[in-house]
Chains A and B, each alone.
Chain A
Amino acid sequence: MKFAVVVFPGSNCDHDAYHAARHVLGQDAVFVWHKETSLQGADAVILPGGFSHGDYLRTGAIARFSPVMNTVTAFARGGGPVLGICNGFQILLEAGLLPGAMLRNKDLKFHCEHVHLRVEQTDTPFTLRAPVGQTLRIPIAHGEGNYFAEPDVLRDLEASRRVVFRYCDTSGIATPGSNPNGAVNNIAGICNEGRNVVGLMPHPERACEPALGSADGLVLFESVVSALAAQASLP
């Protein structure tokens, strides 16, 4: 299968996502410049982390206007799997592909460290290989990862089982102490109604090799490979 890694000006985890897809997973991967309008036939799209356009305005607020985003939106509406990581998640929020918004971390500081996540839902293309409740050790690196949504939006997200990842402690319990940024309901990642668009603040592409301290993030990429293989084998 083929991953498209979208490159916005200021993306800085584009090479890391490409490396995970291409060199760790052994799948095909291409960079797609934000001014392009073709995804080059990719089967899945990754919006990588970074500081698109410097994030001097709200994070992701300018990137949503890039020409490529029309194509990504159409791809998502057609059911194609889209993963937004960190700044990519923020761009998905700004583009309206996912609900909610990001606030600055509650202590107003950038945090880079390993955290624990509980996999809440496994019926998305990025989690289907993970058992429900699996605890993943994956790094975060952000200053604005404090997820917020209006109460009715939040109720809807929870009721429709669209919170995909929650910050938790080592034993898998979502506690205030294990929440690194103040995100409402310890939310680390969510999906859209169609469940094919997933955004999360932690960086699974940084946790794909034991040499880097954890390979727990690999399951997200392996899941989408499986999801697409299953789809391809349908009559």
Chain B
Amino acid sequence: MSAHDSAVLERHGLKPDEYDRIVQALGREPSLTELGIFSVMWSEHCSYKSSRIHLKKLPTRGPRVLQGPGENAGAVDIGGGLAAVFKIESHNHPSFIEPYQGAATGVGGIIRDIFTMGARPIALLNSLRFGPMDGATGARTRRTVEGVVAGIAGYGNSIGIPTIGGEIAFEDCYAGNPLVNVMCLGIARSDALVKGNAGGVGNPVYYVGARTGRDGIHGATMASAEFDDRSAEKRPAVQVGDPFMEKLLLEACLELMKGDALIGVQDMGAAGLTCATSEMGARGGCGIEIDVQHVPQRETGMTPYEIMLSESQERMLLVVKRGREAEVEAIFQKWDLHAARIGSVTETGLLQVKSRGETVAEIPNAALVDEAPVYDRPTARPRYLDEVHRLDLESLTPVSPQQALGSLLSSPTIASKRWVYRQYDHMVRTNTLVLAGMGAGVVRVKGTPRALAMSTDGNGRYCYLDPRRGAMLALAEAARNVACAGAVPIGATNCLNFGNPEKPDIMWGLVEAIEGLSDACRALDIPITGGNVSLYNETDGRAIFPTPVIGVVGLIEDASCALGRSFRAAGSEIVLLGASVGRGDAEPKGRAASAGLGGSEYLKILHGLIAGDVPHLDLEAERALLALLAKATAGRLLLSAHDCSDGGLAVTLAESAFDSGGIGCLVDLPAEGAMGEWDVLADLFGEAGGRVVVSVAAGSLGPLMDLAAECGVPARRVGRTGGDRIAVTVGGRAAIDWKLADAERLWSEALAQYFARPAA
């Protein structure tokens, strides 16, 4: 007979067999406090129980990797004795319930993960997914977008870390479950990375930062369940962010880390004090004993259960060397922070929680962390895939290229995101070399000649059609984006956003995506150093598209070589690197235009279709292209570089002309035999990977073509910059001829116009 009835277990998100395992681990029935502790540590969010066996397939090692998955963040060597420390994390569920605070605390959480490693955070990025801005749910979506953007801005701007890039996409499936993925990167001395370890029996355990309240209790459990129409009732499980408190914590922790009084530190994020104590103990192979009466509390009458499970923000747990207490306390005092000694390190391997001296929980750390359940969940290929792969273009009426370009440029996914990024301070710390909206984010590393480029990318539509290739394309696009900025990709972090893994078709997508990502990482030689899995992204039983989001970090040895996407001078030559057109040179002969348009933004926006085979990808060609871009930028051959992705070559050409100060282009794309209407559209709007549009000074054309040949990358001069029009012909036949200023106005104003409407 269990001490807790099934309703209690259900409320804790624990299955009956999981309860049995708890009893087995303890050798007795757990108390309610212990049950609460197990429930958060064994939640999907903290334990990765559905994904763990598959995540092992990802390549996590490489010559530059200093820290792979398992710590608060990953780290790669960037030379000069420095490390780039970075990670991406989701805050999807809280952002749906309370957009401003959900997004703000997401930013706060990932920043803590970075400075916990001893790194000074210098850049933020985000990947956002929302429902459509129009239609029945449009008004709510617009409010969500405004709240999320304001929350990211409110936290990042205040704490003074620039938000330098990211991406936003709109798709029906995110209407009831938006995605908010936030990435942070910091710089540390590579010989001074700080770990989240406890150690040294008798060393004191300190709690620093905001007081503990009843907010966020069971946040991790909430993030491990589907949503329904009662989700608004879960609002108390969302925390409120205080960027000022975090700024103080950041500065005080970095000051403390300059000395050697610290053993280990971990932030209290998901699962709060429970997770920080048990993980630090488990990593250090020791025990931790705390008394909750010493935990600073903002409310009276809190129970040990509440204190252990609270997810109040801006709190850190530290283990410091015995005898150095005064030194540590003085540093926090300088920053007006109270460091409370709440316990000490023991040799028992147990998490021992006391309340006024009386033991209220006693659990082996290993049982909470290392021995959490791991599931090999069943998978099944979803049936819808057979349907959606059929694409019969002949049943559709083709749209004129110019009209199609207009529709794409004004669609929220492609339109300028200036309305968003002007709300983000993207220049603070005076490192931003490529301003927001101009391609990958690029920050210099002061005191060195180097710069880092970073990009977050993903495409749910591709992954809906083919999660394996979709995940590969996400990595390839992020890598290509940093390469366009002049960087060599050196590491990646991933955020896997999926539905309920207990459903075999969802689980199939997750496994496919991880395996695809793994293959692509190996092919492009980019290790994954950490990340986050967000499951149960479902509302009322409807799952989001499988949406792996990949953040890639690239190194630019000479910061002065950093490039943006826009044309720089009239009269420069425009060269298309990679397969020549949307259908892709490298594809088997005879592939129909339909292959080129599969999964494209064109099909979705102009024909309301999400169908076909996802864009072509050749990882060998992609690898050669990355190598070419690295050499060409280091040799200062290029004036601008912009990759082809959403909206295909036509959108890439238009975006290269935008923000250039009015430099148009005259482009003629090659025709292959007799070109039908669909062939032209596929060449202009197909989204095959592995292609980049560059502009070069006339004198650099020859050297670039030679270098491309040397690297084995097809390169074709397709036109010249200049004039005040975007003029594109295909095989000499006019396709697009549009005044640049008109096209640019349409593109610049489209997103802002949604928010000029009265709120419904």
**Chain A residues in contact with chain B, CB under 8 A?**
9-10, 12-13, 15-16, 19-20, 23, 33, 49-51, 53-56, 109-113, 139, 141, 143, 203, 205-206, 208-209, 211-213
The reply on B435 being an interface residue by CB < 8 A is yes
Q: Which of these, B158, B423, B426, B433, contacts A211 with CB under 8 Å?
A: B433
Q: Are B157 and A9 in contact (CB under 8 A)?
A: no
Contacts of A141 in B (CB 8 A): 157, 425, 427-428
Shortest distance from the beta carbon of B242 to any chain A beta carbon, whole Å: 7
Counting residue pairs across A and B whose Cβ atoms lie within 8 Å, the total is 86
Contacts of B160 in A (CB 8 A): 12-13, 50-51
Contacts of B247 in A (CB 8 A): 9-10, 12, 51, 54
The reply on B599 being an interface residue by CB < 8 A is no
Closest residue of B by beta carbon distance from A211: B433
Mask, B419-438, CB within 8 Å of A = 1, is: 00111111111101101000
Closest residue of B by beta carbon distance from A54: B244
Contacts of A205 in B (CB 8 A): 430
Name A's interface SS: mixed
Contacts of A33 in B (CB 8 A): 334
CA–CA, A33 and B158, complex, Å: 19
Contacts A16-B428, A53-B244, A141-B425 aside, 6 further interface pairs with beta carbons under 8 A come to A12-B159, A19-B446, A20-B430, A112-B424, A203-B427, A205-B430
Shortest distance from the beta carbon of A6 to any chain B beta carbon, whole Å: 15
Shortest distance from the beta carbon of A84 to any chain B beta carbon, whole Å: 17
Q: Are B157 and A110 in contact (CB under 8 A)?
A: yes
The reply on B336 being an interface residue by CB < 8 A is yes
Closest residue of B by beta carbon distance from A203: B427
- Listed A/B pairs (19) with beta-carbon separation below 8 Å: A9-B335, A10-B158, A10-B244, A12-B247, A23-B446, A49-B428, A51-B160, A51-B243, A54-B247, A55-B158, A109-B150, A111-B423, A112-B421, A139-B427, A141-B157, A141-B425, A212-B430, A212-B432, A212-B433
Contacts of B244 in A (CB 8 A): 9-10, 51, 53-56
Number of interface residues of B (CB under 8 A): 33
Q: Are B429 and A16 in contact (CB under 8 A)?
A: yes
Pick the 4 closest A-B CB pairs, nearest first. Answer: A12-B160, A54-B244, A51-B158, A141-B425
Interface residues of B in 142-160 (CB under 8 A from A): 150, 153-154, 157-160
Q: Are A113 and B428 in contact (CB under 8 A)?
A: no
Q: Which of A10, A33, A205, A209 has the most CB of B within 10 A?
A: A10
Contacts of A109 in B (CB 8 A): 150, 422-423
CA–CA, A51 and B245, complex, Å: 11
CA–CA, A55 and B155, complex, Å: 12
**Chain B residues in contact with chain A, CB under 8 A?**
150, 153-154, 157-160, 242-245, 247-248, 334-336, 421-430, 432-433, 435, 444, 446, 559-560
Q: Are A112 and B426 in contact (CB under 8 A)?
A: yes
Contacts of B245 in A (CB 8 A): 54
Q: Which of A49, A203, A208, A211 has the most CB of B within 10 A?
A: A211
Contacts of B428 in A (CB 8 A): 12-13, 16, 49, 141, 206
Shortest distance from the beta carbon of B347 to any chain A beta carbon, whole Å: 39
User: A54-B158, A54-B242 are known contacts. Are A112 and B430 too (CB-CB below 8 A)?
Assistant: no
Q: Are B424 and A9 in contact (CB under 8 A)?
A: no
Shortest distance from the beta carbon of A166 to any chain B beta carbon, whole Å: 21
Closest residue of B by beta carbon distance from A213: B435
Q: Are B153 and A110 in contact (CB under 8 A)?
A: yes
Q: Which of B160, B421, B433, B435 has the most CB of A within 10 A?
A: B160
Closest residue of B by beta carbon distance from A7: B251
Contacts of A16 in B (CB 8 A): 428-430
Contacts of B242 in A (CB 8 A): 54
CA–CA, A131 and B435, complex, Å: 29
CA–CA, A143 and B154, complex, Å: 10
Contacts of B422 in A (CB 8 A): 109, 111-113
Q: Are B433 and A110 in contact (CB under 8 A)?
A: no
CA–CA, A214 and B335, complex, Å: 34
